[in-house]
Amino acid sequence: MPAGSTSVDELLSLAVQVQQRAHVPYSHFPVGAALVTPSGRVFVGANVENAAYPEGMCAEASAIAAMASAGEREIVTIVTVCEGDALSTPCGGCRQKIREFATGDTVIHAAGPDGVRTTYSMADLLPDSFGPENLDQS
């Protein structure tokens, strides 16, 4: 599947589907994420909590781990979906995790049950960020 052939609506649908499988016995706040890479591959993740709360894994981190495990190294677009009326964007830790595999143009959509609520570029979501290029030792 070529990059760009997966629509935001398709990513949102996948994020909602995986959100239903979140393991959230402590926060009761299920989150789903779906991302697409330049090759067109799509990866999904849900948040997974454990008894050593809050030492679980966020949905974004789950999707990124699946992506990296498959050998992909760049996020073109990511959609996150949360329940409730309030806007929920990726947490600070997930912003940095997304940043590791993003460009300044990577698109992040924050959605709720009613659909996409806001859209950011990586540069807007985490301005003046620290990334892999800051560790270039050449």
Residues making up the binding site: 47-53, 58, 91, 94
74 CB-near residues (< 8 Å, 6+ apart): 37, 38, 101, 102, 103
Which residues are annotated as part of the binding site for substrate? Answer: 47-53
Which residues are annotated as part of the binding site for Zn(2+)? Answer: 58, 91, 94
Residue with tokens 């699946």: 66
96 CB-near residues (< 8 Å, 6+ apart): 126, 129, 130
Exactly one of 10, 55, 60, 72 is catalytic; which is it?
Answer: 60
Type of residue at 110: A
CA-nearest of 11, 27, 42 to 111 is 11
Q: For this structure, is 60 an active site residue? A: yes
Supply the residues annotated as catalytic: 60
